[in-house]
Amino acid sequence: MPRKPAKLARSLLALLSFAASPDWLCAGRQQQGPATSSTEAPPPPDDQNSGITAVPNRPTITTTGETVQRGVLELEYGFELADGHQNTNGLLKFGLFKNLELRLANNPFERDSGVTGLSDSGVGFKWRMVTQKGRVPTISLLYTASLPTATAGLGTGAVGHSVQILVSKDFGKHHVDFNEGPQLIGSPEGGFDRNYFTSLSYAHPITARLGWTGEVAGSSKTNATTPAFMEILGAFTYNVTPRLVLDCGALVTAYGHEPRMIGIFGFTYSISDLYHFHRERPSRTPAP
């Protein structure tokens, strides 16, 4: 008889331990998530458990107001093909804080009108000032400093600056991004020329993984040799996994000195969460 209360206590303790187990809690959360369609393969286990989701700026010229997740290092890389113009363009982003993204842009290869080499580089940050809630859109500030790293004939030869206000809003499955701001184009002789950049993009899913995006973007006249321009873009995106997004499309120049039509394709990939790179790994010792 004296042993029965002890057995009952041990049973209750075991039940409470199971209920408080992190594995049990995680399983409960996973069951509450959206169901995966039987017609498509689920993402790899690493993507399911990492919680990392890519935040592409590509393939549009417009920059989304959303920032990459805190601690995440993300790469965008693309290619442009046109008559007399080809380049590879890269953008590396890092979520330093929840609402602050650091950015480094560079075109390691560019060819324009027979001149081949490097392009200017860009360093800057994106600061999300307001997060979307209800009718209020996401509002961010984007600053970029242009550095004269280009091969002669492909860049400005001087430091430049760009400041833009980024506004992003979801309307159900419809997503809209709007950019507006001045650009100061440096001159080797000193001083700056100025123009104003404006862009508007729209995106909508077609299937669970395939999406479509369109854009109108352009800037005012910079100087006597650089007139105003306007470009129209149409492209498709495909989410291979939450961390990897592919894109391809075409960009048409409505007016300006850019090539009449440019084919574009590239990808966005969230490389890693650097803040949790050394997180504790599960033991390889088999459970009894």
Superfamily per CATH, domain 45-276: monomeric porin ompg (2.40.160.40)
Look at residue 44 in the predicted model and tell me its pLDDT. 47
* 3-state class percentages of the chain: helix first, strand second, coil last, to nearest 5: 15, 50, 35
Query: Per DSSP, which regions of 187-260 are E strands?
Result: 192-205, 210-219, 229-241, 244-255
Query: What does the pLDDT look like over 49-61, one tens digit per residue?
Result: 568 999 999 999 9
Say if strands 244-255 and 229-241 run parallel, antiparallel, or are unpaired. Answer: antiparallel
Q: Using the 8-state DSSP alphabet, how is residue 82 labeled?
A: E
Alpha helices of the chain — where are they, by DSSP H? 3-19, 22-32, 45-50
Q: Over the chain, what is the mean pLDDT?
A: 84
- Residues 186-219 as b/e (b if ≥16 CB within 10 A, e otherwise) read beeeeebbebebbbbbebeeeeeeebebebbbbb
Look at residue 15 in the predicted model and tell me its pLDDT. 40
Q: Using the 8-state DSSP alphabet, how is residue 274 labeled?
A: G
For the chain, what percent of residues have pLDDT higher than 70? 78
Flag whether pLDDT at 235 surpasses 80.
yes
Look at residue 18 in the predicted model and tell me its pLDDT. 41
- If you average pLDDT over residues 203-219, what whole number do you get? 97
Query: What does the pLDDT look like over 238-255, one tens digit per residue?
Result: 999 999 999 999 999 999
Least confident segment among 4-13, 68-77, 135-144:
4-13
- If you average pLDDT over residues 222-233, what whole number do you get? 93
Length of the chain equals 288
Helix (H, G, I), strand (E, B) or coil at 244: strand
In whole angstroms, give the CA distance from residue 277 to residue 32. 27
Question: Do 119 and 87 meet the contact criterion of CB atoms below 8 Å apart?
Answer: yes
In whole angstroms, give the CA distance from residue 181 to residue 194. 11
Tokens of 85: 């113009």
Top pLDDT among 143 and 21 is at 143
For the chain, what percent of residues have pLDDT higher than 90? 64
Give the end-to-end CA distance of the chain in Å, rounded to a whole number: 31
Closest alpha carbon to 180 in 206, 229, 151, 219: 219
**Amino acid at position 75, single letter:** L
- Position 47 confidence tier, pLDDT thresholds 50, 70, 90: low
Look at residue 46 in the predicted model and tell me its pLDDT. 52
In whole angstroms, give the CA distance from residue 56 to residue 263. 18
